[in-house]
Amino acid sequence: MKNCPVCGKEIQERTTKCYSCHSEFTYGKKGRIKYIKRSEDIINERRMEIEKKRYEALPKKVCITCGNTVREGEYYCQLCGEEDAYNGGSTYFEE
Protein backbone atom coordinates (compact mmCIF):
# COMPACT_ATOMS: atom_id res chain seq x y z
CA MET A 1 0.00 0.00 0.00
CA LYS A 2 1.01 3.56 -0.71
CA ASN A 3 -0.39 6.86 0.32
CA CYS A 4 -1.98 9.38 -1.99
CA PRO A 5 0.49 12.24 -2.43
CA VAL A 6 -2.38 14.72 -2.46
CA CYS A 7 -4.70 13.72 0.38
CA GLY A 8 -2.61 11.09 2.19
CA LYS A 9 -5.23 8.32 2.08
CA GLU A 10 -4.07 4.79 1.35
CA ILE A 11 -4.11 3.87 -2.31
CA GLN A 12 -3.49 0.61 -4.15
CA GLU A 13 -0.05 0.02 -5.59
CA ARG A 14 0.02 1.40 -9.15
CA THR A 15 -3.52 2.70 -9.06
CA THR A 16 -4.05 5.59 -11.42
CA LYS A 17 -6.73 7.21 -9.35
CA CYS A 18 -7.27 8.09 -5.72
CA TYR A 19 -10.82 7.23 -4.72
CA SER A 20 -10.74 9.63 -1.83
CA CYS A 21 -9.76 12.91 -3.50
CA HIS A 22 -10.15 11.82 -7.17
CA SER A 23 -6.67 12.89 -8.15
CA GLU A 24 -5.07 10.96 -11.00
CA PHE A 25 -1.50 9.69 -11.32
CA THR A 26 0.83 8.36 -13.92
CA TYR A 27 3.85 6.24 -13.09
CA GLY A 28 7.43 6.37 -14.19
CA LYS A 29 9.63 3.37 -15.03
CA LYS A 30 10.53 2.59 -11.44
CA GLY A 31 6.93 2.64 -10.30
CA ARG A 32 7.25 6.06 -8.79
CA ILE A 33 4.43 8.50 -9.24
CA LYS A 34 5.52 10.69 -12.09
CA TYR A 35 2.65 13.02 -12.65
CA ILE A 36 -0.23 14.10 -10.45
CA LYS A 37 -3.41 15.59 -11.73
CA ARG A 38 -5.28 17.07 -8.83
CA SER A 39 -9.04 16.81 -8.61
CA GLU A 40 -9.33 20.61 -8.86
CA ASP A 41 -7.53 20.49 -12.21
CA ILE A 42 -9.81 17.70 -13.44
CA ILE A 43 -12.91 19.67 -12.40
CA ASN A 44 -11.53 22.85 -14.01
CA GLU A 45 -10.79 21.01 -17.23
CA ARG A 46 -14.33 19.67 -17.37
CA ARG A 47 -15.75 23.09 -16.61
CA MET A 48 -13.71 24.64 -19.40
CA GLU A 49 -14.86 21.96 -21.81
CA ILE A 50 -18.52 22.59 -20.93
CA GLU A 51 -17.95 26.35 -21.22
CA LYS A 52 -16.33 25.88 -24.63
CA LYS A 53 -19.18 23.68 -25.88
CA ARG A 54 -21.72 26.19 -24.62
CA TYR A 55 -19.88 29.00 -26.40
CA GLU A 56 -19.59 27.06 -29.64
CA ALA A 57 -23.31 26.31 -29.58
CA LEU A 58 -24.24 30.01 -29.46
CA PRO A 59 -25.78 31.51 -32.59
CA LYS A 60 -23.16 32.89 -34.95
CA LYS A 61 -22.91 35.80 -37.33
CA VAL A 62 -20.17 37.12 -39.53
CA CYS A 63 -18.46 40.44 -38.82
CA ILE A 64 -19.17 42.78 -41.73
CA THR A 65 -15.77 44.42 -41.41
CA CYS A 66 -13.34 41.50 -41.21
CA GLY A 67 -15.38 38.34 -41.75
CA ASN A 68 -14.61 36.95 -38.30
CA THR A 69 -17.21 34.73 -36.62
CA VAL A 70 -19.07 36.61 -33.91
CA ARG A 71 -21.14 34.85 -31.24
CA GLU A 72 -24.38 36.06 -29.71
CA GLY A 73 -23.72 38.24 -26.69
CA GLU A 74 -20.44 39.63 -28.00
CA TYR A 75 -20.57 43.36 -28.41
CA TYR A 76 -17.26 43.72 -30.14
CA CYS A 77 -15.60 41.71 -32.83
CA GLN A 78 -12.61 40.12 -31.14
CA LEU A 79 -10.54 40.44 -34.28
CA CYS A 80 -11.13 43.96 -35.60
CA GLY A 81 -12.98 45.62 -32.72
CA GLU A 82 -16.06 46.37 -34.81
CA GLU A 83 -18.78 47.60 -32.46
CA ASP A 84 -22.10 45.80 -32.23
CA ALA A 85 -20.58 43.10 -34.41
CA TYR A 86 -23.27 40.52 -33.68
CA ASN A 87 -26.38 42.64 -34.24
CA GLY A 88 -24.84 44.37 -37.21
CA GLY A 89 -23.24 41.22 -38.60
CA SER A 90 -24.34 39.26 -41.60
CA THR A 91 -25.86 35.76 -41.49
CA TYR A 92 -23.47 32.91 -40.86
CA PHE A 93 -23.68 30.01 -43.28
CA GLU A 94 -22.33 26.64 -42.31
CA GLU A 95 -19.73 25.42 -44.76
List Cβ neighbours of 66 (8 Å cut-off, separation of 6 or more). 77, 79, 80, 82
State the pairing for strand pair 60-62/90-91: antiparallel
Greatest Cα pair distance, the chain, in angstroms, is 63
User: From the CB of 77, what's the least distance to Zn ion, in Å?
Assistant: 3
User: From the CB of 53, what's the least distance to Zn ion, in Å?
Assistant: 24
Interface stretch with Zn ion, choices 30-38, 45-53, 54-62, 69-77 (CB under 5 A): 69-77
Please identify which residue in 17, 36, 79, 88 interacts with Zn ion, judged by CB under 5 A. Answer: 79
**Residue 78 makes contact with Zn ion by CB under 5 A:** no
**Residue 74 makes contact with Zn ion by CB under 5 A:** no
What is the three-class DSSP state of 36? strand
